[in-house]
Structure 1
Amino acid sequence: MLLTALTGTAPCPCCAYAHAQAAMPSMPLRGITSWLTGMASAPAAVAAPVPPRDLRIENVTIVDPRDGSKARGMSIAITLGRITDIFPTGSKQLSPQVQVVDGTGKFVVPGYNDMHSHVLELPDPSGSLALMLAEGVTGFRQMSGSPALLAARRAGKLPIGELAPALLETPGSLLTPFNAGSADAVIEEIRRQKAQGADFVKVGMIAPEVFFVALEEGRKQGIALLGHLQEGTDALDATAAGFRSVEHLGPGSTVWICCSDDEAELRADSYRREVIKAPPFKIPFLETLVMKKLGKMLINPSAFAKPGDVDRLQRAIHSFNPDKGHAVAERFREDGSWHVPTMVRLRTQEYAELTEYEQDEMLAYMPARAVKNWREVTARFKALPATMRHAFRDAYPRQLELAKLLCDSGVRMMAGTDGGSYLGPGLTLKQEFAELALAGISPLRILQMATVDPADYLGRSDAMGRVAIGYDADLLLLDADPLARVEHLHGIAAVVRAGAYHSAQALDTLRRTVAEKRGTLH
């Protein structure tokens, strides 16, 4: 009955799978995409961008995101995608062959990194990639994959062109009950993804006993597991066992239960939560079939929420103990776990009825069909019982407070949107920065979450995340001091990606092109 009642396609499947585990525990196969069975054919080869031979940006203020220090009146020399020199403007002779940009009055920071994106789920991601570049994203971590995606990367055939940020990392198939339904199965799947060249393994929803087997196997194979903490498990046990990156503040009640005065009762309730089980026999193409039917649910899992799950989250939040919260944050810090809160994803789910989304700038770039599906799901959210909608409205400010607590406690955090695949309006890095600022996080700390922290996470602190000699020439020219106001982080005068210069006018042209083509996107 469920399968025949639902229609739609999945704009952001793998991540929404986990959001939905807090909302709809009984929904089968949530978030499993056609990536699990592979793409029908590999995308055509895309030529690597060819930057200009030399570029020189004159008379700028360079901001160091490590400590917020500023070097004024500086010139940046770039050759073949690398920063080759930095010096006071006017102190060195200018070659006539160099492309020169007058940056007087501008501030230069490293390009931003969106560490939670699903952009490569689109059949043609070029539009979304261009929009990411236009808002200053020069690198992204793909949070959903497949054997076919990994094979395309190995062959140099990913559909990423010149007007796109760099792919920093990607997993293989999402771990679900269908490829990780037992200890033996999850061990086999992790070994398979390691051999396929996955950078990490993404956890969607697996049984608690399988979850810890997976963490141990990941440790043995030298490949990180990250993604979504599992209901029915202790978040602190997970990070202590090596769960590397926690997405969406959990999601659901997982972290909140650890901070609650009613921890024992709430955890027992989460253990009783119905879990998804794989069928006793293999059904060909089942994942693809169900994913097609469940597409609309993934636009906003909160619209399909079960009252019991919402009640558990609300009880956990209302019984929050600040002392326990700080102790949990300290444990996360000691464990070395990373957190990508994706506040914009939580906000668009829990505040879905806000009229501001009807005027959101992203609507101009979304395909008409995607806008129609989003409005239908939003109407369903508005029809939820008032008590449930009130619980969601009540949860979000507290989630902002939790993000601030983690940040103030020294927990390692990165910026991410959960966007990139036309899921719905509001999922931009600009809005993520605004939400982090609303939580009380400083512009400098937000800048760090998008630059030096991702570099540290990736083990690339010697090549990215700073404006320094020998580093990647992925830069932003900003109109005003980015440390003065969070809004200044998105006053972008130009983007330099791999040494190629894109003016504000060129970026506006990119946006217009995407908007004009939105009717042809599917």
Structure 2
Amino acid sequence: MVRGSFGWRRRCGPRVGGRGRPRGRSGGEHRVAQGAREGTLPRPTGAPALKATSGDLLTPLNASTAEAAVQAVREQHRDGADFVKAGATTRTTFMAALEEANRLGMLLGGHLPPDLDPREAARGGVWSIEHLGPGVTVFAAASSREAEVRSKNAARKLPPIPRMKFPGADKLVMKLIKGMAVNPATSTSETEAHAYELADGSYDQDKAEELAALFVQHTTWQCPTLIRVHTQQFGDSPEHTADPRRRYMAPEELRAWDKSARKFAKLPDATRTALRGHWAAQLRLTKTFADAGVPMVAGSDACGAAGIIPGFALHDEFDYLAEARLDPLTIVRMATTEPARFLGEDGTFGRVVAGMPADLVLLERDPLLDHTALHRIAGVMRDGSWWPRAELDAILDCVAARPGAH
């Protein structure tokens, strides 16, 4: 599943990045859902196909109470959204929205609120969980000191999003969300940092496996986005701040990223140590889920997040999944057959068989022997058009010359 990948034109024109086309965003948009429903979204040559989109992200603006959350789900159902995405919610509003989505036959996924037990969400029928939580919400359920971890995690405050609608509120909320999405870790409190340390220091493998078995039982999908959590928790690391692929990004985007990196560097040493220390726990839990057969897809969360280079970030995800010791076949499936199953379109795409669309990536080596073969792209077939490696490289040079990617 590629999130936010480039939709290049066949030849470099006035705009060569993603700036000039509607995109599926973290949280979706009413107009995108409407355009998808009506078939009016532009389809530049080679652009990714929009397979599903949510309505507006559930936040305190549209889901401040259980009643408001239910109404938001009903409105998204009426407007033709494919699913509902939870962003900044509480246990009460999340579960109210989930119950209503179930009643209407819609799917709900996204971020679990800090005061919600992931087992309750799974039993309630949540479709998917992103970023392994986020935070320590899922890790609390794999801790021998669960009550302590959960109590500290529940103290995490919701972002400062307005709870009342007023003229221009929607634009203000999207601006706030965009600002927070650059790197939420820059706002990590000492209490949250302690929760990370407590959860990581009390990890219980038996409880982790019990949680994994529950996710398998209820088909609770996971999209780990390890590249996303790594760029958050190592927000001032040169591997992200000095990534040579930054040349493909819009200058204003890079300014936001660099501002975020400076803010991250000013966090207390103990907080940054706790964030970086959590990386090993995330790799361990990802491996536990994979071994148990928890359904998972590969994603990058390319939505303006600092350090996430659209398209390339999915390849970074492959590397981090390998660092978590997932085998090459599992990684390939997470990017091909599993996204199709995730979207309920198994048999429609994700396989190379007669009768399926010829959207293909030709590799130079066998990816079942080594996941790094996924980086060795010889050419791409998309919607009847073929791009050999030389043409792909020429397009990249064009993008670097006039960066406009967001």
Q: In structure 1, what is the equivalent of residue 323 of structure 2?
A: 438
* Contact 2:58–2:88 (CA under 8 A) maintained in structure 1: yes
Give, in whole Å, the separation in 2 of the partners of 1:172 and 1:352. 30
Contact 1:129–1:163 under 8 Å retained in 2: no
Query: Which of 60, 72, 80 is the matching residue for 1:189?
Result: 72
Aligned counterparts of 2:369 and 2:110: Cα–Cα separation in 1: 33
Return 5+ residue gaps in structure 1 as ranges.
1-112, 131-139
Contact 2:253 2:304 in 1 (8 A): no
1:160-180 per-residue CA deviation (whole Å, 9 max, x = no partner) reads 411211111110100111111
CA contact (8 A) 1:201 1:224 kept: yes
Q: Deviation string for 1:427-459 (max 9, x for gaps)?
A: 611100000001100111100000111111122
Label 1:388 to 1:119 Cα distance change in 2 as closer, same or farther (>3 A): farther
Structure 2 counterpart of 1:127, which letter?
G
TM-score, scaled relative to structure 2: 0.91
- Counterpart for residue 376 of structure 2: 491
CA contact (8 A) 1:171 1:200 kept: yes
> Is residue 58 of structure 2 the alignment partner of residue 175 of structure 1?
yes
Residue by residue over 1:253-303, the C-alpha shift from the partner in whole angstroms, topping out at 9 and shown as x without a partner, is: 111111111112222333444446876753221342354367544311212
Q: Displacement, 1:337?
A: 0.7
Moved more, 464-473 or 271-280: 271-280
Q: What is the count of residue pairs matched by the alignment?
A: 396
- Aligned residue for 1:501, secondary structure, equals strand
Q: How is 1:424-435 mapped onto 2 (pairs within 5 angstroms)?
A: 424-425=307-308, 428-435=313-320
Contact 1:129 1:420 in 2 (8 A): no
How far apart, CA to CA, are the structure 2 residues paired with 1:482 and 1:280? 48
Corresponding residue to 1:477 among 362, 375, 396: 362
| Cα distance per residue 1:349-398 (max 9 Å; x no partner) | 11122212244233111111221221121122112111111111111122
1:262 maps to which residue?
145
Q: Please give the alpha-carbon distance, in whole angstroms, between the structure 2 residues aligned to 1:382 and 1:271.
A: 26
C-alpha offsets along residues 320-340 of structure 1, whole Å, 9 cap, x if unaligned?
Answer: 111111111111111111000
Q: Deviation of residue 425 (structure 1)?
A: 4.4
In 1: Cα distance, 2:159 partner to 2:238 partner = 35
**Residue from 295, 315, 340 that aligns with 1:412:** 295
Of residues 112, 116, 127, the one that matches 2:17 is 127
Match of 2:107 among 224, 249, 253: 224
**2:101 partner letter:** G
**What is the identity, as a one-letter code, of the residue corresponding to 1:475?**
L
Letter in 2 for 1:314: E
Asked if the contact 1:177–1:207 (Cα under 8 Å) also holds between the matched residues in 2, the reply is no
Structure 1 moving runs of 4+ over 6 Å: none
Superposition deviation, residue 206 in structure 1: 1.6
Q: Counterpart of 2:352?
A: 467
Structure 2 vs 1, CA of residues 129 and 398 (structure 1 numbering), >3 Å: closer, same or farther? farther
Larger % of helix: which?
2
Tell me the equivalent position of 1:448. 333
- C-alpha separation in 1, matches of 2:195 and 2:15: 37
RMSD, aligned CA: 2.5
From the superposition, tell whether residues 318 and 118 of structure 1 become closer, same or farther in structure 2 (CA, over 3 Å): farther
- SS at structure 1 position matched to 2:149: helix
- Conservation of the 8 A alpha-carbon contact between 2:85 and 2:109: yes
Contact 1:444 1:483 (C-alpha < 8 Å) held by counterparts: yes
Does structure 2 conserve the Cα–Cα contact (< 8 Å) formed by 1:257 and 1:316?
yes
**Contact 1:234 1:254 (8 Å CA) reproduced:** yes
When normalised by structure 1's length, the TM-score is: 0.71
**Corresponding residue of 1:204:** 87
Q: Alignment partner for residue 263 of structure 2, among 361, 371, 380? A: 380
Is the 8 Å Cα contact of residues 55 and 84 (structure 2) preserved in structure 1?
yes
Identify the residue that residue 34 of structure 1 maps to in structure 2: none
CA spacing shift, 1:149–1:141, aligned 2, 3 Å: closer
C-alpha separation between the residues in 2 aligned to 1:384 and 1:328?
A: 32
Amino acid corresponding to residue 199 of structure 1 in structure 2: D
Change (3 A) 1:193 1:292: closer
- In 2, are the aligned partners of 1:360 and 1:426 still within 8 Å (CA)? no
Question: 2:205: which partner in 1?
Answer: 322
Partner Cα distance (1:301, 1:276) in 2: 9
Assess if the C-alpha contact under 8 Å between 1:176 and 1:206 holds in 2: yes
What is the CA-CA distance between 1:142 and the residue it aligns to? 5.1
Aligned partner of 1:506 among 391, 403, 406: 391
Identify the range of structure 1 (292-301 vs 368-377) with the bigger mean alpha-carbon deviation: 292-301
Distance 2:66 2:27 in 1: 22
Q: In terms of mean alpha carbon deviation, does 253-262 or 151-160 score higher?
A: 151-160
Higher relative contact order (CA 8 A, sep 6+): 1
Larger Rg: 1
2:281 counterpart (395, 398, 403)? 398
Equivalent pair of 2:228/2:308 in contact (CA under 8 Å): no
**Please, which of 195, 217, 241 is the counterpart of residue 334 of structure 1?**
217
For 1:214, the aligned partner's letter is A
Change (3 A) 1:425 1:335: closer
CA distance in 2, matches of 1:432, 1:274: 29
Q: For residues 320 and 280 of structure 1, do their structure 2 counterparts lie closer, same or farther at Cα, with a shift above 3 Å needed?
A: closer
Counterpart contact for 1:119–1:129, Cα < 8 Å: no
Supply the distance in 1 between the matched residues of 2:44 and 2:212 (Cα, whole angstroms).
40
1:81 match: none
- In structure 2, runs of 5+ residues without a counterpart are 8-13
Q: What's the offset of the Cα at 1:197?
A: 1.0
Identity of aligned residues (%): 36
